Amino acid sequence: TITIASIIDDLIDESDETVIVTLSNPSNATLGGNDVHTYTITDNDDAPTIEFNSVSSSGDESVSSADLTVDLSGPSSEAVTVDYTVTGTAESGTDYTLANGTLTINSGDTSGTITIASIIDDLIDESDETVIVTLSNPSNATLGVNDVHTYTITDNDDAPTIAFTDPSSSNPESINSADLPVDLSAESSQSVTVDYPVTGTAESGTD
């Protein structure tokens, strides 16, 4: 008997492994046909799960990039890959840079990073915008519960002021209408409304 001793029952998902024992140089005997034996150590560990570290996060639009951490539940001796798609109310190429892609976590590592880059700090008052990243199609791992992460880009611009262009104007009563321009101090990505009550010495419906 040749004994393979102390086989280690680790907790790492890995490929089945082999121990190959080859006989040679017999004394007082001749070598038979079966001079090589392959013993296979069959892995008994489940593939790790892969998921986002958290389901949401946020940052001011002045922050130029954001890292989204993707975790494995345990180490693997094999590289793990997972696809991701990008959606949300923010627009890639305009508000930030991140396209659909594939994340690779190398063997032995337990986390990886998807980076939302080039977040634009514009000067436009707007609603907070979202970047939604969804994981799918993992290899050498199974998908965990936290497979979607929502990153919120928080707007940091003040709302514009709204006012008349001029505080007063006049025309003779022979002019049958008058436009009173109202201006915003800056462009806004949101519709702006303002109420206006009408008073004065002239009477609406008569004058």
- For residue range 68-88, what is the model confidence (pLDDT) as tens digits? 999 999 989 899 999 999 999
- For residue range 30-63, what is the model confidence (pLDDT) as tens digits? 999 999 999 999 888 788 999 999 999 999 999 9
Q: Integer distance in angstroms from the first to the last C-alpha of the chain?
A: 116
Strands 56-60 and 148-154: parallel
DSSP track, 13-66 = B---EEEEEE----SSS---S--EEEEEE---PPPPEEEES-SEEEEETTS--E
Q: Is the Cβ–Cβ distance between 137 and 82 less than 8 Å?
A: yes
pLDDT at 43: 84
Largest Cα span, the chain: 131
- For residue range 129-168, what is the model confidence (pLDDT) as tens digits? 999 999 999 999 999 999 999 999 999 999 999 999 999 9
pLDDT at 102: 98
Per-residue pLDDT for 11 more than 80? no
Strands of the sheet containing 80-87, edge to edge, are 56-60, 148-154, 129-139, 80-87, 101-105
What does the alpha-carbon distance between residue 149 and residue 193 come to, in Å, rounded to a whole number? 34
Q: pTM here?
A: 0.75
